[in-house]
Structure 1
Amino acid sequence: MNNVPRVLLLEDNSTTRVLIASAMKAHGVEVITATSLKEVEAYIDDDSIDLYLMDINLPDGMSSAYVPRIVSQRPLIPVLMMTADQDYSQVANFFKAGVKDFITKPINPSLLVAKVFSFLRNADDKRALLAAKETYQKISDEKAQEEELAFHVYDYILKTHAHNITGVNVANRSSGKFCGDILLSAKAPNGNLIIMLADATGHGMAAALTIYPIVTTFSAMVSKGLSLGAILLELSEKHSQSIPNNRFVASIFIEISPATNTIKFWNGGMPKILAFDENRQQIEQIASKNMAIGILPTDMVSTQLETYHLDSVKHLCFFSDGLIENKIRDGAGLTFDQCYDIIAEQFDDPAGAVETMLALEDLSTISESDMDDMTICHIDIQNTVQALREESNYRASIPGQFEFNFKLQGHSLTNERLPFSVSEMLEGYGFKKEFCQRVFTVTTELYTNAVDHGVFNIDSALKSQNFIEYIDARSKAMEQLSDDQFVIVGIRWESEGQKLHINVADSGVGYRPHELEDDQDMTKAYGRGLALVKSFSETFNYDPNTNSTHIALIY
């Protein structure tokens, strides 16, 4: 209803019309008067009218002809009829048409005003209720669309970053559309397999959103060839930057290395990892010795790993805490150790283990919708290692030779797509993905060193000492770039020795690799790039006279 209600009064009797209009105006109602159906026609589509008060019999016809039209166009607007007839044979038909009430003549002004205001308030309440329902429906629709978009992203991430690895079998049970658990695996450029099982605080979309930054960072760091300790620190830093400080991610990290015949573990806030020998006998329970990601600041996160020989561990079984919490059997709650024993009986059947533990859920304390997510993974170490070795050993030789050079000058030095372009081109030519990942890492590090430390002449230590100052110095240097500043990147493929030669030179002072000698700790958050490049390269040579670095990678 408007602040000042507007009523259309249709009455041909001048005395009655003046009486009614005066009574309503005295109570703050704006009255629009009409004496014939022809005059009413001009107001039928007027959205500002809050109530129609109409006589039935007019000189030019019956006003009842307009009632269906008004009700159809504006169903919330009350229509009241006035009649002096004592024959009410038409009353039922008027009510069916949508008339709210009848007022008999002679009119009692006080009673009429009271009825008018009663219907105005009622109509106002209905409009408010309808508006509330529309708002609620809009919010519900928007929420559904947002959840659908979030799930699309969530599902895409799972499909993109969760790879099928021989010997790795996983099963899960989500309490809803979104799962707060996620298992990822990725191959490092050195041939190692790194697996992460993460369990975010809570469940549903909030838990899934907590995991998003970790998923993308994990895959990127593994593909760069960083050590597991360095990956942990990157994940911790990414979590602290993008997730509220009351949301944590309990995690298990496992690195299987066929080259060193070892398997490494890091358990942060998760249930014990169960290890079995070749006779399928349980030989070890690897308990959590670390906090979940997000609890401690990054500089306090331990990167110490537990290492075992692959000869002693043949099977692994690990899972999220939803698999062992809130379980009951024969009316008695089960301890974690009892749950471990149940799972150990079918450690190599993840789907069966989920069904078994699901049947033991104590639903007397929580509803089924509030149950925690469950995820369990079994790794057949022997099959997994064999698959990794076969994949690493098979490399079809790349025939022919090629060579190309990039020279970036001035503001084109800010083009960070160059390393991507090189690795993508090589992958398209037929080089294996793992090799292209090494090329990407090497090219990225050498190009960044050439730009930041060579052309921009920024101290390499500044990045770890004061990152904000480093970013500020880099931004200022980028603004002042000139065309006589450049970086040259050369790529040459030697088919006879199956070697890829990479040469990077800059027009600046060079990046002075001797100043980075102290930055060989691969678990540091910064300053580990050069050590990583050297570890990948068969040869590494730096020429201070030409500010150029030459490395060779064996394919």
Structure 2
Amino acid sequence: MPKISTQPQHNGIALIVEDEVTNRMILKALLKKHGYNVIEAENGAEAIQHFKKQSPDIIFMDVMMPVMDGYEAASEIKRLAGDHFVPIIFLTAMSDEKALARCVEVGGDDFLSKPYSFTVLSAKVKAMERIRTLHQDTRMLYSRMQRDEEIAEQVFSGAVIAGNVALEHIRSLLKPASVFSGDLMLTAFAPSHDLHVLLGDFTGHGLAAALGALPTSEVFRSMTAKGFAPQQILFAINNKLHDLLPTGMFLAAQFVKVDHQLDHISIINCGMPDCYLIENESMRLKYEIASKSLPLGIAPDIDFRDDFHHLRVDEGDRVILATDGVTEARDSNGELFGQKRFIEVIRKSDSSSYIMDKLAKDLEAFCQDAPQDDDISVVEVPLIRELLPGWESGSHHFVTDGDMPQNLFSHEQPDCIEFQLILYGSQLRQADPVPILINYIQETAGLHEHRRPLFTILTELYINALDHGVLQLDSLLKQGEDGFTNYFQQREQRLEALTEGQIRIGLRIHQNNNSGYIVITVEDSGHGFEFKTLSQHVTNETLYSGRGIMLVKSLVKQLKFFEPGNKAEAIYVWEDKL
């Protein structure tokens, strides 16, 4: 039978700080019964030196001592210990409540009354040991959580943030309340060279709130790259989050599309604070866009089309998007920064610099050292030409007039691929054929490098056929301050009422070694238009008719219309540089 040890278990080092020798001897004997190695100090100054040299596990501190009293010594020891928990039990015969309260204020964890009782001492020591163990476990778990969050944050940054574009011009203020932010900023260029910007705010903050960012960014980027419209992108994100997120978690969002012509924006607010369109020179609020739609993820199959605002803009205007963390930021007295103060910052900003510069300074001065309750995110999008991409020229380029490959139209014509798509009646309201056609071209001809110009050509010809051919909309509606709003309102009304009409789109793809051409035809059931005078309509830069067609003309080898103007044919030619 094995022998049972009668020696006390070693529990670490105990420091006794007491100027009375008798009291030290009694307490030392009691602590040795608990298995502690005991070191002694006669005053607070000696206690600090012992703490620095030997790092005791528990300290018993008298209050009234020469040289340095227990209050000062305890305060300094707690400072030196930092995050490491070293329990301090004050030894006292005092009954004064204020004196006892001060013991706690300077870092004391418990009291032991004189004369000492072994039973009471045992209970207090065991309690401190449990607290110390819990504190160590908590520190270990917290440290592990921080490491996990740092690793996850690197993955998050690479998967979500790294894909953003135009950041050299878009200014943002992103201040998470913890390692992870529940706020999300996404930017991407569509094939048409439109810019899509999404600012979102998931319920709560931290890692749990950030989990929804991955599927959101995946849908946003993939659908933008394929050329889907903003309302279709939001529809897909909403359904994705509704399927994935738990009840009570959702994404409030603001989404803005900057048109490649830089003449209008399309913007929607889904459960967020107001966003703003700012006039450049005067810093006047041209529009305040309030929330009209539900946040994403609450209900399935939300139709966002009617909730978009289509606003005319001038070059140099700015769009300001913000989460509620800005207006709900607090100072040390609990006062909110508020919407009024936010708007005042915008109005008083210098038109020659970013609004974000002044806002960041004012927010910091207002909040100072007050704790941050929520993630703070603001995005400023300047509507300038440099914001949008130009047409690249590289190893793959499109060919316009005067730059025709001589070997393209040889007498022996290469094999071709031909495809035709016809949309009738209500399908013109529901379907967006351009992403389908672009995907077909890429799958059959592998023309990924030409995706953007081809998308622009197809989009402009299709929109021209739908708006002006089938729906009979007049571009003159776009004139005036609210012109784009009125135009898109009438467009939606006529689409809702549409039951007849058709658009026929044809593609014929010819490839020959390192060059080729695509013949694109778009024909609608409308009455046509006076295409012979088209070039006259776009000489005035303030007019909004014919710009899309002239853009197409700049991208293709040949563009022609057939009488009575309801059929267009464009020939896009490319040659790969070797």
| TM-score, structure 2 as length reference | 0.48
**Which structure: larger Rg?**
1
